[in-house]
Amino acid sequence: MCSPSTIPYPELPGARFTSLTASLVSNLTVQIPRGGYTNHGAVSAEGVSYCHVTTTYAHTGQDETITVDVYLPTSGWNGRMQGVGGGGWIAGGANARVTGPSMLGAVANGYAAVTTDAGHASPDPYDWVLKSPGVVNQHLLDDFATSSLNEVSIIGKAIVESHYGTPPTYSYWNGCSQGGRQGLKLASSYPNAFDGIAASAPVVDLIGVGMGNLWPYVFMNALGHYSKNCELAAIGEAAIDQCDGDDGLLDGIISYPDGCKFDPYSVVGQAISCNDTGIPEIVHISETAAKIANATWTGPRSIDDSIPWWGLKKGARLVEENLGFMTIPGLATTVCSTNGTCVGKPNGVAEQWAKLLVKKDPAFDVSTVTIEEFQEMYEISTQEYGPAFETEPNLDAFRDAGGKMISFHGLADTVVPPDSTRHFFDRVAAKDKQVHDYYRLFEAAGLGHCSFGLGGYYPEGIFDALVSWVESDIIPGRLVAHTGPMNGTERSSILCPYPQKPYYNALGSYARLDDFLCEDWPPWMDELGNLALPSFG
């Protein structure tokens, strides 16, 4: 029965519920492509029916409306609950671009699915981050960053129990990007909220993404010179050409970007075709382009040469690319006019962070930010927003509660540097040498942010591996991953639990899964090349 009369308001201390509705959705056809259902493969299902419960609440004394949506299968419920995370500036929500397909995929697979919008449904931070010019909506920001996460677990479990007469046997969190950050935060701050967490390509530190991703733009402005996108694309392709075979297989992907010794200055002067100005022409790769590529790979540096944030890996796109169905961002993108002059194009999230959370002024001109001011803005961000967005690398309570967590991160991610997730894992491992007993990280060669990329290997079985680990104690060793079609043929490879890496141990280009091995860092990669690093000042 799908009726609000059978579902009482959940008990949530410090909150007052304002509404609860229930409506039946019947005989739905669900078609979701690979990557659309986070941490899963493609879904094709007919005759999907579920009870859609929506409840709203506010924290005591706050003028807000937080919405939680729960999808309850009308038949075939598998006894589990799946919390679905958000993306970008949204925590979730049934109608969100990222969350919506995953909610449908979850209910089609028999899960009771739950998501929260954390008090705002808009993906545009200009709609909600500031109460007024100069005043951040700190309470709503805290809802987004932290407090809504435990609450969605409590509310979801209560509604599931009211509807089915029994609580979920197991509960899982499923997220990538912002949803991945939510997963890490749940494990560290709310260890009993979910039994298993899939936290992929997590924004470990939103401050780092917010400020760090502005660095290539600031660096270009400081140079006073701008390259064309075609130059940086050509530099990226040259890096792949040189380092593609380091894993033993030529597949158009850099599997070991840390060991890639490609020097962008080696292709300066090379002639390439270019259409950035709208007029086809032959240009020569400039020294400016090499400097910008280098700065994007190394990431920002402070005056004392410490690293506040990481750069992208070689093999990741440096400039924006429109694939038709979506646009993949590039941190070093420029916009060129027909007269040949170019200007930088800031990353959207980074520009929003600088304007709204640092300067607290939507009209602030980020093109005026100097290298010195960039460092000051980074320090301000850490002081003001560290408590909300930094994730403590201590999973002891999650481990003791019996929780299990899996992350993957694409090595060609153009939004969140893979080193940020690796660094988080390393800090957890430094505290607990048995970390692999409950938390495993898999790095995916050639994969972009959460999915897509340069035809990279997408691990669509991450979530199912998590369920098997939690419920059957099947430890995830190597995972199967697939590329998009390459020369008309889809390729498969394996992902290995970090710090192991996959190596192709066969001859020829026809790769079989049995030809890949997981092994420690190959000995020939021990001596890494060191590029000249940009520095503040």
Average pLDDT over the chain reads 91
Helices (H), 437-523: 462-472
* 4-205+389-485 fold: Rossmann fold (3.40.50)
115 in Cβ contact with 122 (< 8 Å): no
Give the angle subtended at the CA of 418 by the CAs of 422 and 321, to the nearest 5°.
175
Longest pairwise C-alpha distance within the chain = 73
Please give the average per-residue pLDDT across 373-390, as a whole number: 92
Q: CA–CA separation, 441 vs 495, rounded Å?
A: 10
Neighbours of 83 (CB within 10 A): 29
3-class DSSP state of 283: strand
Helices (H), 446-486: 462-472
Say if pTM beats, i.e. exceeds, 0.75.
Answer: yes
Quote the DSSP letter at residue 329: -
Of 371, 329, 372, nearest to 219 (Cα)?
371
Please tell me the least confidently modeled range out of 399-403, 472-476, 479-483.
479-483
65 in Cβ contact with 156 (< 8 Å): no
Res 303: pLDDT = 67
Q: CA–CA separation, 121 vs 136, rounded Å?
A: 17
Distances (CA, A) of 287 to 225, 235, 352, 533: 10, 11, 30, 15
Task: Flag whether pLDDT at 510 surpasses 70.
Answer: no
Res 503: pLDDT = 82
Res 537: pLDDT = 30
Q: Where are the domains of the chain?
A: 4-205+389-485, 210-385
Q: Which helix (H) or strand (E) holds 86?
A: none
Of 12, 38, 44, 40, nearest to 482 (Cα)?
40
Please give the average per-residue pLDDT across 432-461, as a whole number: 88
Res 387: pLDDT = 87
Please give the average per-residue pLDDT across 205-217, as a whole number: 94
Q: Which helix (H) or strand (E) holds 174?
A: strand 170-176
Res 99: pLDDT = 93
Please give the average per-residue pLDDT across 334-360, as a whole number: 95
